[in-house]
Amino acid sequence: MEKNKIWDVVIIGGGASGMMSGAVASSHSKSVIILEKNKDLGKKLKITGGGRCNITNAEFDVRQLLKNYDEAEPFLYSPFSIFGVKDTFDYFGKLGLPLVIQSRKRAFPESEKAFDVYRVLKKELEKNKVIINTGCEVNEVLFAKNKITALNTSKGTFYAKSFIFATGGTSHPETGSTGDGFTFLKELGHKVEDPTPSVVPLEVSDKWIKSLMGISLSFMKITFLLEGKKQFFKKGKILFTHFGLSGPLILNSASQVGSLLQAGKVTAEIDAYPDTDFGSLEKKIVNIFDANKNKTFKNILKEIVPEGTQKGMELLFNFIETETKVHSITKEDRKKITHLLKALPINITNLMGYDRAVVVDGGVSLSEIDTKTMRSKLYSNLYITGDLLNISRPSGGYSLQICWTTGYVAGTSA
């Protein structure tokens, strides 16, 4: 590369939004270079969605879609009018990667391989002659008045007419998302909300939950309580892990739970039979007991608890010896079992950290961004994309859609 060349666009970060902005900017016959500190582009993209890549959420009604972005909603109508969910389907379709819609409107590449998303984007970059400079770490951002002038890096100084920051946030730091962009933006005078894990599993202290590691239950209802008072509930699938709880239902509750944890002791209750009232459930248990009077409690437990949870329930129902004959179980203990199945107790100790986070909140306030162009309001040639923006969102494809939308708009504008 020629020394002191002035590029049309220099992009820091070769993740989802960086690759998208690079592909789009170069398609307008601009000279583009991507500076990536890893050995290759798309390190986090390749592992997203468990390697399947939940590429977007197929909610084509923009108003309904943007309700999932909380306080960012009013800022996002402009960029989504330029590049929305349907555009994502069309864009990847044209690159030879058709998308399919699965449960809860989650969209995946038809191949269900995250690597294929990376592959088609990289192919587009190569087709458009984008220079990819890997192993290149940015050390300093140079600026004068209201313009970025250059980047000092481990591989020299890079000059450009426009700069796109696409370094990502702090989720999965092992992929290189270590918050470098936040540091640069703070130094430039942008207001940056400190990152906090927002779509993460929950850490609990209960042995009965940890004993069920790997078990998942569908159609559960979980209610969260602050100092014993009910705050909110959700229904869906729960996954038990060696540290606590995960699964889509839990991940999408984490942000609210995090706020509660700052206010006091947080507990939760799982209703294992949300579609059965207390009386009907008790009657069901009575019938099972009557039909198995001479069996031990241990041998009939699997008939009254959700499939696969017997080991954990033995710990929870420790007020009854497992070898007790069913006919010896008291009415009071039977009622206690019913109460527990309608409100399995959980003690939440924490949110899991950045290393397990699907999404991390924090970033530049959207009030400091012209969201029609993704340009900084402080620097006329700086564009900011993806996880560097303070946008709260649930799991389910909403995060990558922000990358595609902001990357496309920044690439077009720069």
In this prediction, residue 362 carries a pLDDT of 73
The SS3 assignment for 105 reads helix
List the domain range (segments joined by +) for residue 179: 6-196+360-413
Number of C-beta neighbours around residue 357 at 10 A: 25
CATH number for the domain that contains residue 46: 3.50.50.60
In this prediction, residue 174 carries a pLDDT of 44
| Domain annotation covers residue 310 | yes
In this prediction, residue 70 carries a pLDDT of 83
| Domain annotation covers residue 250 | yes
Tokens coding 92:
């990847």
| Domain annotation covers residue 1 | no
The answer to whether 110 touches 100, Cβ cutoff 8 Å, is yes
Q: Between β-strands 138-144 and 147-153, what pairing exists: parallel, antiparallel or unpaired?
A: antiparallel
- Cα torsion 337, 340, 346, 347: sign: negative
The answer to whether 109 touches 92, Cβ cutoff 8 Å, is yes
The SS3 assignment for 344 reads strand
Residue 280 zone, left/alpha/beta (φ > 0; ψ -120 to 50; rest): alpha
The rounded average pLDDT for each run of 10 residues, N- to C-terminus, in the chain (414 residues) is 85 96 96 95 84 92 93 95 98 97 89 95 97 95 95 96 84 49 92 74 92 91 93 92 88 82 87 95 95 93 93 93 93 95 94 61 89 97 94 82 97 96
Residues 170 and 29 in one domain: yes
The C-alpha torsion from 198 through 200 and 205 to 207, rounded to 10°, is 160
In this prediction, residue 238 carries a pLDDT of 92
| Domain annotation covers residue 266 | yes
In this prediction, residue 292 carries a pLDDT of 94
Residue whose C-alpha is closest to residue 401's, from 51, 177, 79? 79
In this prediction, residue 145 carries a pLDDT of 87
Residues 187 and 77 in one domain: yes
Q: Between β-strands 106-109 and 131-134, what pairing exists: parallel, antiparallel or unpaired?
A: unpaired
Tokens coding 390:
């303070």
> Residue 53, class by beta-carbon neighbours within 10 Å (0-12 exposed, 13-18 middle, 19+ buried)?
buried
Residues 140 and 18 in one domain: yes
Residue 401 zone, left/alpha/beta (φ > 0; ψ -120 to 50; rest): alpha
Distances (CA, A) of 340 to 166, 298, 301: 48, 17, 13
In this prediction, residue 357 carries a pLDDT of 53
Residues 339 and 370 in one domain: no
What is the distance between the alpha carbons of residues 68 and 240, in angstroms, rounded to a whole number?
A: 26
Residue whose C-alpha is closest to residue 11's, from 214, 122, 162? 162
Residues 73 and 163 in one domain: yes
Residues 171 and 246 in one domain: no
| Domain annotation covers residue 375 | yes
Residue whose C-alpha is closest to residue 311's, from 210, 226, 165? 210
Residues 387 and 314 in one domain: no
Asked which of 334, 352, 370 is the last residue of a domain, the reply is 352
| Domain annotation covers residue 255 | yes
What is the distance between the alpha carbons of residues 254 and 136, in angstroms, rounded to a whole number?
A: 35
Asked which of 317, 333, 352 is the last residue of a domain, the reply is 352
In this prediction, residue 172 carries a pLDDT of 41
Residue whose C-alpha is closest to residue 150's, from 354, 336, 10? 10
Residue whose C-alpha is closest to residue 347's, from 244, 401, 268, 252? 268
The answer to whether 410 touches 21, Cβ cutoff 8 Å, is yes
The answer to whether 18 touches 163, Cβ cutoff 8 Å, is no
In this prediction, residue 170 carries a pLDDT of 42
Q: How many domains does the chain have?
A: 2
Residues 40 and 100 in one domain: yes
Identity (one letter) of the amino acid at 105?
K
Residue corresponding to tokens 């939940």: 54
Q: Between β-strands 6-12 and 156-165, what pairing exists: parallel, antiparallel or unpaired?
A: parallel
The answer to whether 151 touches 141, Cβ cutoff 8 Å, is yes
Residues 161 and 239 in one domain: no
| Domain annotation covers residue 172 | yes
Number of C-beta neighbours around residue 288 at 10 A: 15
Residues 88 and 31 in one domain: yes
Residues 205 and 278 in one domain: yes
Residues 346 and 364 in one domain: no
